[in-house]
C-alpha cells in the first residue's frame, strides 16, 4: 500500500475557513469587508494619480502618450472589475462572477505586457541614471508578481476563501505606483510607497483572526511572499548585475 500525502486542494476541501459564527450578521460583515477593500484600493490609486492622470486637465498636466493612456485604462479597468466582482459575490450572483473571471484573466495578461513596455519607457527617460535604473526593479517585478498571484487565484478559483485573498494580494502589488504619488509620501522612499500598501494585507490578517480565529494561509504566505519580493527588488536594484541588465533593457 502506497502512502500519498494530501495535496493542497484536499487540505482546502477538509478545512472550513468560513467565519465561525455563520449568522446573518457575520455573513454581512464578511460581504462588507471584501467589497470595501477594493474600493479603498481604488480611491488610493485615484488620489495618487489625480493630478497626473485622472484629473490632469484641471491641473494642467503634460499631454501623455498613447502607451500611458493604455496603461492607465487597463489598470483602472482592473480596479473597476475587482469592485464589480466582489459586489457580485456579495449579491450572490456567482455565475456572472465566474463568467467575468475569464475576462479578468485576459485583462491581467494585457496589463502584464503593458507593464513591461511602460517599464522600458520609464527607463528611457534617464538611461544613464543609476537610481532610475535601479528603480526599474519595482515596475518590472510587478510584471512577474501580479500575474503570479492572479494565475494562482484562477487556478484555485473553486476555493472562494483562497481565491479572493490571492486576488486582493495581487491587487496590492499594483498599489505602490499610486501611493508613490501621494504628496505626503514624496520623501518617504520605498518604505512609504511599498510599505503603506501592505497595510491592506495587515487588515486582511486582522480580519481573518477576528472572524475565523486564525490567519488564512493565503493571507499569511501570500503576504510574506509579496513583502519578500519588495525587499528583494530594493536590494537588487543597486547591484552591478541589475544595472547592466537595466541599461540593456532600456537601450
Tens-digit pLDDT profile for residues 29-54? 888 999 999 999 999 999 999 999 99
42, 175 contact by CB (below 8 A): no
pLDDT in tens, 181-200: 999 988 888 989 999 999 99
Instruction: Tell whether the torsion through CA atoms of 183, 184, 187 and 193 is positive or negative.
Output: negative
Domain assignments of the chain as residue spans, ordered by start? 21-250
Q: What are the start-end ranges of the H helices in the chain? A: 8-14, 24-48, 56-59, 66-90, 94-123, 130-135, 137-155, 160-172, 176-179, 190-193, 199-212, 217-237, 240-250
Q: Identify the pLDDT of residue 225.
A: 97
Alpha-carbon span 7 to 114, nearest angstrom: 35
Q: Identify the pLDDT of residue 27.
A: 73
Residue written as grid cell 487556478: 155
Q: How far is CA 121 from CA 78, 124, 125, 177, in A?
A: 22, 5, 7, 15
Amino acid at each position: 500500500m502506497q502512502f500519498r500525502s494530501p495535496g493542497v486542494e484536499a487540505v482546502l476541501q477538509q478545512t472550513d475557513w468560513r467565519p465561525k459564527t455563520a449568522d446573518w450578521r457575520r455573513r454581512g460583515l464578511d460581504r462588507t469587508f471584501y467589497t470595501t477593500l477594493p474600493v479603498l484600493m481604488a480611491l488610493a490609486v485615484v488620489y495618487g494619480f489625480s493630478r497626473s492622470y485622472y484629473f490632469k486637465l484641471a491641473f494642467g498636466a503634460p499631454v501623455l502618450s498613447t502607451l500611458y493612456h493604455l496603461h492607465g485604462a487597463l489598470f483602472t479597468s482592473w480596479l473597476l472589475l475587482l469592485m464589480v466582482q466582489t459586489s457580485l459575490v456579495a449579491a450572490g450572483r456567482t455565475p456572472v462572477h465566474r463568467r467575468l473571471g475569464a475576462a479578468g484573466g485576459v485583462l491581467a495578461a494585457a496589463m502584464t505586457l503593458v507593464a513591461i513596455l511602460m517599464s522600458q519607457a520609464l527607463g528611457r527617460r534617464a538611461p544613464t541614471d543609476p537610481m532610475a535604473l535601479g528603480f526599474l526593479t519595482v515596475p518590472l517585478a510587478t510584471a512577474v508578481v501580479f500575474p503570479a498571484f492572479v494565475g494562482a487565484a484562477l487556478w484555485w478559483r473553486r476555493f472562494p476563501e483562497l481565491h479572493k485573498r490571492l486576488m486582493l494580494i495581487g491587487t496590492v502589488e499594483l498599489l505602490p505606483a499610486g501611493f508613490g504619488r501621494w504628496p505626503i509620501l514624496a520623501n518617504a522612499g520605498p518604505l512609504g510607497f511599498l510599505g503603506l500598501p501592505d497595510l491592506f494585507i495587515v487588515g486582511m490578517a486582522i480580519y481573518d483572526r477576528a472572524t475565523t480565529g486564525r490567519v488564512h494561509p493565503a493571507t499569511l504566505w501570500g503576504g510574506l511572499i509579496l513583502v519578500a519580493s519588495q525587499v528583494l527588488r530594493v536590494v537588487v536594484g543597486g547591484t552591478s548585475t541589475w544595472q547592466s541588465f537595466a541599461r540593456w533593457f532600456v537601450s
